A and B are shown apart, each in its own frame.
Chain A
């Protein structure tokens, strides 16, 4: 039997579970549901509030916090940034990795991924560089969903 993670939560067929019988279609549905639940039940990690105006200077740290990865984490964080005229550097001081998002354009949504995180608690740091009257509406981080290959 092939194994996959469905894109959406399977909807259980009605009346699929009489007391002592499990129909084959229902069984497959339950397995898919189980895989979906586990693979996509990732966590929102952090939401940073609006920062406006931005502090002057290069790579000024504006937030710092701990992030506990799940034991089953894939080691990456998805980042969504809504900002204008600012470079935002998100780094893990623990794992020594970083990613910079944003840029000099008009207000827009920027997405990126921070990879290479180890499974121990991470000290995360957010630093900003104002590129000219910039601002951050919000910064949002969440764990990546697992793929079929990453499931334990």
Chain B
């Protein structure tokens, strides 16, 4: 049933005006869900493309899209750069219903379209996870003698792979072989001995004395019971005090953009203004406005990704998260801001958060419109770890968040469990807007935290 103009051409000769009108309007409104199916895109600058690998479980990012009314299926179009030869796996999941779909991605693939069926109809903003899992190459790149493990750092020597030439961020796997160092026993069958390498740090004392040649930064920590590697800072190259670790390449993905469209809706019923809801229409506010949130299917921002090139983003004090909102109609913007955030350093105090809206005037000058103090946010710490941050040549890696200006963590992604653990913080922003072309049509929305947080999920749009 398509939307149609209601004019005399559609009326039967003797059809009562009221009957014609009511039927026509009913047909139209019942077609809205399909005719105006929401479709949006999440995009971020990829001067430094978000690029990650994940050996042990699916990892990725969260995007929030507005499903409109009663969506039962939606299609995602992903474009990305992928490992040229290795296979990987993409998953789209909707944690609220547990729905998910997995697609195998062959090497060199750049585009995939995935349809996610929703077991129950979903309306309004919904969070979806875009996750990726790597496969491991069959042929080893080389091997190292692994001496000791402190947290997620493995000290190595005698590599058959040129570490110095390949130092830095890597998408490799470390597979420990041979024996358990402390008791000389083989690693137990099924024992955990595969680790993802996020970074390789060579030392300046390669090949000399008792120093390690380099350090592999792994996920998860190489600390097991019984220990496979010594937890000591003394690097003694003395057989059999080391375990050989073979290095394998992992497949990786570099996500460029996510397109979204609702492709099926549950049959809708005559809603809103046409349902003779006097309680609403007497007030002069047709209920149908709620569907389109200010007469537009607004979605301003779908994800927290920023131009630094990783998924999700770290927001520090005084750092604006979003600077742009434009209007094409005079009126009142009625936006919903939703986000999930995590504290990523145990030493950070729980932040307080202020949300403000300003009008950007030529100059540019900023005219404050609104400000909300959300108070102290009870947001959780990112997945606990036992290791501690080290500066200098070693990087603390927490689920892929980079913690320094120029150093990278395990990858650019977060695990699904972490993405969904914080509560959703929501605030309605209602402010007058002027159409584009007037003296002011640009608005900035700033989310200001008193201490740094990792924003995993972000939505700005109609509720």
Q: A63-B43, A65-B256, A66-B79 are in contact. Are A111 and B296 (CB under 8 A)?
A: no
Of B7, B324, B441, which contacts A3 at CB under 8 A? Answer: B7
The chain A residue sitting closest to B257, CB to CB, is A65
Q: A3-B7, A62-B45, A152-B2 are in contact. Are A140 and B259 (CB under 8 A)?
A: no
Q: Is the CB of B328 within 8 A of A17?
A: no
Q: How far is the CA of A87 from the CA of B47 in the complex (A)?
A: 16
Q: Is the CB of B79 within 8 A of A50?
A: no
Q: Is the CB of A37 within 8 A of B292?
A: yes
Q: Is the CB of B281 within 8 A of A16?
A: yes
Specify the main secondary structure of chain B where it touches its partner: mixed
Q: A12-B284, A34-B6, A107-B364 are in contact. Are A17 and B276 (CB under 8 A)?
A: yes
Q: Is the CB of A36 within 8 A of B295?
A: yes
Q: How far is the CA of A19 from the CA of B277 in the complex (A)?
A: 11
> What's the minimum C-beta distance from A108 to chain B, rounded to whole angstroms?
7
> What's the minimum C-beta distance from B258 to chain A, rounded to whole angstroms?
7
Q: How far is the CA of A52 from the CA of B47 in the complex (A)?
A: 11
**0/1 per residue, B376-401, Cβ < 8 Å to A?**
00000000000000000000000000
Q: Is the CB of B41 within 8 A of A9?
A: no
Q: How far is the CA of A70 from the CA of B322 in the complex (A)?
A: 27
Q: Is the CB of A70 within 8 A of B17?
A: no
The chain A residue sitting closest to B461, CB to CB, is A44
The answer, yes or no, to whether A47 is at the interface (CB within 8 Å) is yes
**0/1 per residue, B14-56, Cβ < 8 Å to A?**
0001100110010011001001111111111111000000000
Q: Which residues of A contact B420 (CB under 8 A)?
A: none
Q: Which residues of B contact A46 (CB under 8 A)?
A: 40-41, 43
Q: A41-B292, A43-B40 are in contact. Are A48 and B32 (CB under 8 A)?
A: no
The chain B residue sitting closest to A72, CB to CB, is B35
The answer, yes or no, to whether B298 is at the interface (CB within 8 Å) is yes
The chain A residue sitting closest to B280, CB to CB, is A12
Q: Is the CB of A43 within 8 A of B295?
A: no
Q: Which residues of A contact B405 (CB under 8 A)?
A: none
The answer, yes or no, to whether B8 is at the interface (CB within 8 Å) is yes
Q: List 12 A-B contacts (CB under 8 A).
A: A22-B21, A37-B32, A37-B292, A43-B299, A47-B301, A49-B305, A49-B306, A55-B47, A62-B46, A65-B259, A68-B259, A124-B43
